[in-house]
């Protein structure tokens, strides 16, 4: 069964430093997609970055990059030059397509705190 | 281009009442997904709908919960006879693509969520 594991309940980082949030996934599909979302204290879900299983290069979006290691089934999010506004919950998710359906499977999340 | 809209943003219901949550997808999107987030948890899939069709309701509780996406108007998630355990944030997402084998899925765009509190 498809599953997302985020092993870090909480992470702390100093402002302006880089931080890596871990995500491992389990799937038997050959074609899949991985997402990272940010959820600030206000509660909305903000899309950060997407990695397709066939993408040869790691995805990047501004200060966000995805360290995709297909053989290890990991899709870690790297945030460079952390800012105070990066303090939030971060969720890794995988798209599950099956029998004409399509749904996101989420991990439990990592709470990131950026210290001044 | 307006994003996914959900209303109300906050809803308080007493035990036994009905809750109706509304979701208007992004313009041009015909696929709607509902997710539930319990406190301190990630989002859990509930149901996937296209216009006038329920595609996948495998995440919906068997009783008291129903969803629809009519030809005209928003998608509705309905919870009858609410209980305290229904207190959660309910998110709607929309997309313009339904995955088929061999193709990469498109992003699902999320609404701001409805926070349901059952007293």
What is the per-residue pLDDT across A11-31, written as a single tens digit (0 to 9) for each? 999 999 999 999 999 998 888
Chain B neighbors of A37, CB-CB under 8 A: 110
pLDDT at A53: 87
Determine the 3-state secondary structure of A32 from DSSP.
Answer: coil
* Helix then strand then coil, % of chain B, to nearest 5: 5, 45, 50
Q: A–B: how many Cβ contacts below 8 A? A: 74
CB contact set of A31 (below 8 Å; sequence gap of 6+): A53, A54, A97, B101, B102, B103, B104
Whole-angstrom distance, CA of residue B36 vs CA of residue B89: 6
Distances in whole angstroms, Cα of residue A92 to Cα of each of A23, A54, B110, B117: 6, 18, 15, 26
pLDDT tops 50 at residue B102 = no
Closest CB to A97 among B43, B105, B112? B105
Nearest CA in chain B to A55: B104
Mean of pLDDT values over B3-15 = 96
CB contact set of B72 (below 8 Å; sequence gap of 6+): none
pLDDT at B7: 96
Do B78 and B66 contact (CB within 8 A), yes or no? yes
Whole-angstrom distance, CA of residue B96 vs CA of residue A102: 12
Chain B neighbors of A9, CB-CB under 8 A: none
Determine the 3-state secondary structure of B62 from DSSP.
Answer: coil
Q: Does the distance separating the beta carbons of A43 and B113 come in below 8 Å?
A: yes
Chain A neighbors of B110, CB-CB under 8 A: 37, 44-45, 47
Whole-angstrom distance, CA of residue A92 vs CA of residue B43: 10
List the one residue out of A18, A19, A112, A34 whose CA is nearest residue A73.
A34
In degrees rounded to 5, what are phi and psi of residue A80? -95, 155
Q: How confident is the model at residue B100 (pLDDT cuts 50, 70, 90)?
A: very low
Distance from CA of B22 to the nearest CA of A (A): 16
Mean of pLDDT values over A23-41 = 91
Do B113 and B90 contact (CB within 8 A), yes or no? yes
pLDDT tops 90 at residue B53 = yes
| A67-84 residue pLDDT tens | 999 999 999 999 999 999
Chain B interface with A: residues with Cβ < 8 Å: 31, 33, 35, 41-45, 48, 55-56, 58-59, 89, 91, 93, 95, 98-105, 107-110, 112-113, 115
Q: Does the distance separating the beta carbons of A52 and B48 come in below 8 Å?
A: no
Tokens of A61: 């979006």
Do A22 and A72 contact (CB within 8 A), yes or no? no
Q: Does the distance separating the beta carbons of B101 and A104 come in below 8 Å?
A: no
List the one residue out of B94, B91, B92 whose CA is nearest residue B109.
B94
pLDDT at B104: 46
- The pLDDT mean for chain B works out to 90
- When scoring A32, A52, A102 by the number of chain B Cβ atoms within 10 A, the one with the most, hence best to mutate, is A102
pLDDT at B103: 40
């Amino acid at each position: 069964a498809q599953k997302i594991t985020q092993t870090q309940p909480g992470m702390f980082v100093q402002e302006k430093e880089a931080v890596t949030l871990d995500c491992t996934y389990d799937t038997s599909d050959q074609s899949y997609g991985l997402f990272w979302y940010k959820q600030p204290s206000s509660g909305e879900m903000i899309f950060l970055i997407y990695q397709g299983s066939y993408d040869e290069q790691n995805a990047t979006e501004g200060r966000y990059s995805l360290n995709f290691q297909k053989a290890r089934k990991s899709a870690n999010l790297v945030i460079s030059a952390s800012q105070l506004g990066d303090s939030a919950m971060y969720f890794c998710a995988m798209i599950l397509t099956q029998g004409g359906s399509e749904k996101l499977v989420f991990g439990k999340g990592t709470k990131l705190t950026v210290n001044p | 281009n307006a994003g996914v809209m959900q209303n109300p943003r906050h809803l308080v219901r007493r035990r036994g009442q009905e809750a109706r949550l509304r979701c208007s997808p992004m313009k041009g999107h015909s696929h709607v997904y509902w997710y539930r987030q319990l406190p301190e948890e990630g989002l859990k899939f509930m149901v996937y709908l296209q216009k006038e069709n329920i595609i996948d309701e495998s995440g919906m509780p068997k009783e008291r919960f129903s969803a629809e996406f009519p030809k005209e108007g928003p998608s509705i998630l309905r919870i009858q006879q609410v209980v305290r355990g229904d207190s959660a944030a309910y998110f709607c997402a929309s997309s313009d693509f339904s995955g088929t084998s061999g193709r990469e899925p498109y992003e699902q765009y999320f609404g701001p969520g409805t926070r349901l509190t059952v007293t």
